[in-house]
Structures are given as C-alpha cells and as structure tokens.
Amino acid sequence: MTDVGPAIRLRLCIEDVMRERIPLFDGVEAMLRLAEALPALEHDRDLAKLAETLAAAEHLPVGVARAHWQKEALHRHDRELMEMERQHKNSVFYACRKLLVTLDG
C-alpha cells in the first residue's frame, strides 16, 4: 500500500470540510495538524486565520475532546458550537479555497 503524503491528506481534509462531511471545527483542527508537516505553509495567512478561528472555539467540545465531556455538558454547549460554526463557515470555506490554490502552487 502506498503512503499518502501530507499535502494529499490536507487536500482530502479540505474537501471533507467543504463538503460538510465532518464538523467544521473538527476539520479546522485536523487541517492545522496536517499542515504542520508542510514547511512551505509555516507562515501561510489562511492557516493563521484558521488557527484564530479554532482558538475562538477552544472553550467548546471540539474533535476528540468531545469524548472527555459529560453528556449534559455537551448538550449545554452544542448550541453555542453550532452557532459559532454557522458564523465562521463562510470564512473557513474561503480559507479552504485559498489553501487549495496554494497547494496547487
């Protein structure tokens, strides 16, 4: 089996986010993690914007952290998380499109 490089994994993650196959902030978290393996993106403005967006939601149960939250706490915070996803969706999608252009570079 052929190992898939980090740029391809990042591209697939971007596609998953834009097609709404995964929750928005889970995807942003994954994109930032994958981008760490790509030195050419170290100072990318779009990744910096995505990091800022994720930081705004750091108090909410995102990604694997959800497994450590109690059901009642998840229920209390999910409404706020959904609202933040709605607010940031367009800017995240814009950054994703620009990242795809950069990766095509």
Q: Average model confidence (pLDDT) for the chain? A: 92
Three-class secondary structure of residue 42 per DSSP: coil
pLDDT in tens, 60-93: 888 788 888 888 888 888 889 999 999 999 999 9
For the chain, how far is it from start to end, CA to CA, in angstroms? 27
Confidence of residue 4 (pLDDT cuts 50, 70, 90): confident
**Contact call for residues 97 and 37 (beta carbons, < 8 A):** no
Output the six-digit token pair for 33. Answer: 């993690």
Output the six-digit token pair for 25. Answer: 């902030």
pLDDT value of position 2: 59
pLDDT value of position 60: 86
